Structure 1
Amino acid sequence: MSDRLAAILAEAVPRVCPAAVSLIAVDGSVVAAAAAGELVRYADARGGLAAERPPACRDSIFDLASVSKLFTTVVLLSLAEEGLLDLDEPVAARLPGTDPRITPRRLLTHTAGLPPTRRVDLELPGADAGARMAAMVRTPITHPVGGPYLYSDVGMVMAGRVAELAGGAALDVLVRARVTDVLGLPDTGYRPDGRRARIAATEWKPERPGPGCVRGEVHDETAYALGGVAGHAGLFATAGDLLAFGEALRLGGGPLLRPESVAEMTRDQGAEGAPFRHGLGVRIGDPAAVGPLAGAYGHSGFTGTSLVVDPARRLTVVLLTNAVHPVRGRDGIRELRHAVAAHAAGLAR
C-alpha cells in the first residue's frame, strides 16, 4: 500500500538504515504502509554481511529507544488521574535525598536540572540493577531547576521509578496493565523474550554476551544496565502497535487517559531553551521529526524510530528503523523522517 512510501523507504535502505517500516493513518485508517530492507544485515562493526538476512515486514519488532518516554508519561498521568501522585509534588517524598524542587512535571519537561545521562554501568561494574537504579535516582542536579530545558535520560529514569513507587509495581508491569493490555498491543513491551526472529538488530557491542550485533535486548546502555526496564528507553514494538498507541492519544486518550490529561500532556508547558515546544513527555513541533507537520507532537528515538501525531490533520505517522545497525552515527535519518512526514501531509489533504 502506497508506492510512494515504499519508494521513500527503498531510497533510504541500506544507506540510512538496514530496515524500515512505516505506517500512516488518516482518521484512524491506514492509508499508506511499507516495509523495506533486512532485520539483520551486518555481522559486525566492519560491515561484514550476516549469513542470514531476514526481510523487514510490517509485523517486525523494533527497539523504540526514547519513544518509550511516551509510555512512561501515560503511566504517570494515569496514576495522577487516580490520585496516586501529583504532578507538582516533590519527588523527594518518594525518593528521599533528592532535591525537593524536583517534581514529576519537571521530570517530564526536562527542566529538573538533571544531567543528560549517567553511565551507571561504568560507575558500578558488577553491581545489580537495583543498586544501579538507586544510584541513578540519587543523581545530583547539575543545572538550574525549572529551566532552561536540558534533555535528560536521568530525569526520565527517575520518572519511571516514581511511577513504580506510586503505582506499587515494576514499570514493565505498569506499562502492561495501564497501556498495552488496555489497547491490546501484543507485541509491545520490555525484554521481548521469544520473539528474536522478528526483531531488528541494532549496534555491534562486543562487550555484550552473544555473537553478532545486539538483537532482542535494549540498545541503550543505561537501560541495559538497569535490567532492560527503564523510564527513558527499553520498549520494543511493531509499527501497528505504535500506531494504535498514537491513535489513542490523537482521539483524546480513551481508554488510556481522560481527554483533559491528554490536553495537559500536549499543552506547551513553557520550557525555555528547547528548539521546539514541550508538553509532558512529548515534543511539539520538533523540527527533527515532524517535517512540514507544524504543530504535530510525538517523540523520536535514538535507534531511528519516531511517532508523530497531528490532530489538526487527523494524522498518525509511525517510522521504525534500526539506523544504529551496525554502528551509530549514520547520516540521513532526519531527512527520512521529513520525507515520510511530507508524504503523510500530502495524504491528509
Structure 2
Amino acid sequence: MGVPMRTTALEEILRGAVPGVASAAVAVIAVDGRPVMTAAAGEAARFADASEALLPDRPPVMPDSVFDLASITKLFTTVVLLSLAEDGRLGLDEPVAAWLPAHYGHRPEITLRHLLTHTSGLPPGRRVGEEPAQSRWDVILSTPAQGPLGTHTYSDVGMITAGRVAEIAGGASLDVLVRERITDRLGLPDTAYRPGPAVLHRVVATEHKPERAGPGAGPGCVRGEVHDETAYALGGVTGHAGLFSTAGDLLRFGEMLRAGGDGVLSPAMLSEMTRDHGVPGAAFRQGLGVRIGDPAIVGPLADALGHSGFTGTSLVVDPARRLTVVLLTNNVHPLRGRPGIRDLRTAVAAEALRLSG
C-alpha cells in the first residue's frame, strides 16, 4: 500500500472554499519566481443552471484549467499602453482627444493617465447590447463624465476607452497587441481573448446566463466566452475584461511585474506603473492600472500590488517579500453574489506570507 500524500495548507484552504465560495479554485504561490506551493480543488463545471442542479459529468479542475480573468485584463491593457508609450506611439499625459476627437474633442482635459488611474470622472460602467452592434462602441466612447476630474472612481468605461486608444495608437486590435507585446514575449500559450475549441475542455464555467443560449441550445452556464456583459456585447475583446488564462501563465505575467519588466517594459516604465500616484478618494493606493495595498485583494501583504476580477480571480505581487500569488476561481458559478471570496483571498495571501519566511 502506498503512503498517502500529505495535504498542503494551500490545498486545505481551497478545499474549504469548494463548493461554497466557488466550484473551482486553483492557486499558486511563488517565492523568487519559483512556485513553492500549487493547489487545485473542485470541478471545472458543476452546475447546469441557476437552480444548482448538478451536471451529470463534472470534470475536475486542474492546475492548467483556463479561467475568465475578468478585470485582471486591465493590467494587460495597461502594459500594452505603456509599451506603446515606450515606443513613442502615445504619451500618457496627452489628451485622449488626440486619438478620439469625435468623442473627446469637447473634453481635452482628460488624459490617458486619468483613464489608467481611474480619475477621469467617467462612471463605473455603461451597459450596451440593446443597440445595433455597429453602434455599441460609439455609445461607450460617448459616455459622459459623472464625477470630478482627478478623484478616484473605478471605471470600466475608462479602461474600455484606454483599450480603444491602444488599438488606434498601435495600429492593431487589442487581442493582437496583447499577443505581440505580452503573451508571445513572455511565452504565455494559454492567455488570450475568446479561447478556441482546442482549449474549451479546459475552460471553467461561470454564471448562468440563459439569454446567451444560441438557436437550439438550452439555458445553461457560460463556458468559453466572456462573462462580463459589456465585453460580450462589444465582441469579447475590450480593455476592461475578456482575457482568459491559466494560473501558470498569470504567474509568469506577475513575475514580469515583480522582477523588472522582463523585456516587456523597461524598469523605469514598470516603476512608473507601480508607484503610488497619490489619487484622492481611493480605498487603496492607485498606480497605473494596478492597485497597491488594496485590503480586499492583498490581505496581510499590505504593500503588495495587483488586481482582482469579478469572476473570482486575483493576482498579487509583493516585490519586497519576493512573492507572486495567483488565485483563480469561478465565484460567480452558477450565480453571482456567493459570499466568501474576500476571506479566501486573505487566507491565500496569509499562506504566502508564511511561506515567504
1:36 aligns to what? Answer: 41
Q: Does 1:201 align with 2:205?
A: yes
For residue 25 of structure 1, give the secondary structure of its aligned residue in structure 2.
Answer: strand
The 8 Å contact of residues 25 and 42 in structure 2, kept in 1 or not, is answered as yes
TM-score calculated relative to the size of structure 2: 0.95
Please report how far the alpha carbon of residue 2 of structure 1 lies from its aligned counterpart in structure 2 after TM superposition: 6.5
- For 1:192, the equivalent position in structure 2 comes to 195
Q: Is the 8 A contact 1:156 1:231 kept in 2?
A: yes
Of the candidates 140, 144, 147, which is equivalent to residue 136 of structure 1?
Answer: 140
**Matched position secondary structure for 1:216:** coil
State the one-letter code of the partner of 1:215: R
Question: 161, 165, 168: which is aligned to 2:164?
Answer: 161
Measured in 2, the distance between the counterparts of 1:2 and 1:110 equals 42
Please provide the CA RMSD for this pair. 0.9
Structure 2 residue matching 1:34: 3-state secondary structure: strand
Secondary structure at 1:120's aligned position in 2? Answer: coil
Q: Which of 242, 246, 266 in structure 1 is aligned with 2:250? A: 242
Q: Report the Cα distance in structure 1 between the residues aligned to 2:315 and 2:281, rounded to whole angstroms.
A: 23
Matches of 2:249 and 2:63, distance apart in 1 = 11
For the 8 Å contact 1:9–1:35, the answer to whether it is kept is yes
How many residues align? The count is: 344
3-state DSSP class of the match of 1:133?
A: helix
Shift of 1:52: 1.1
Asked whether the 8 Å contact 1:292–1:338 carries over to 2, the reply is yes
Offset of residue 131 of structure 1:
2.2
Instruction: Give CA deviations for 1:216-258 in whole Å, capped at 9, x if unaligned.
Output: 0000000000100000000000000000000011001111100
CA distance in 2, matches of 1:135, 1:146: 23
Q: Are 1:255 and 2:263 an aligned pair?
A: yes
Deviations 1:251-285 (Å, cap 9, x if unpaired)? 01111100011100001111111110000000000
- The unaligned stretches of length 5 or more in structure 1 are none
SS at match of 1:236: strand
Does the CA contact (< 8 Å) of 1:269 and 1:278 recur in 2?
yes
Which secondary structure state, in structure 2, belongs to the residue aligned with residue 207 of structure 1?
Answer: helix
Of 278, 293, 300, 1:270 maps to 278
- Identity of matched residues, %: 67
What is the rounded CA distance, in whole Å, between the counterparts of 1:226 and 1:299 in structure 2?
23
Cα distance between partner residues in 1 of 2:229 and 2:108: 28
TM-score by length of 1: 0.97
In the alignment, what sits opposite 1:182?
A: 185
Secondary structure, counterpart of 2:212 in structure 1: coil
Question: Contact between 1:317 and 1:341, CA under 8 Å: does it hold in 2?
Answer: yes
Q: Is the 8 A contact 1:2 1:32 kept in 2?
A: no
SS at match of 2:35: strand
Structure 1 segment 1-349 matched on structure 2, within 5 A: 3-96=8-101, 97-98=103-104, 99-122=107-130, 124=131, 127-128=132-133, 130-147=134-151, 149-194=152-197, 195-209=199-213, 210-211=217-218, 212-349=220-357
CA distance in 2, matches of 1:235, 1:134: 22
Which residue of structure 1 lines up, in the alignment, with residue 3 of structure 2?
Answer: none
Gaps of 5+ in 2: 1-5
Using the alignment, how far apart are the partners of 2:326 and 2:44 within structure 1? Answer: 17
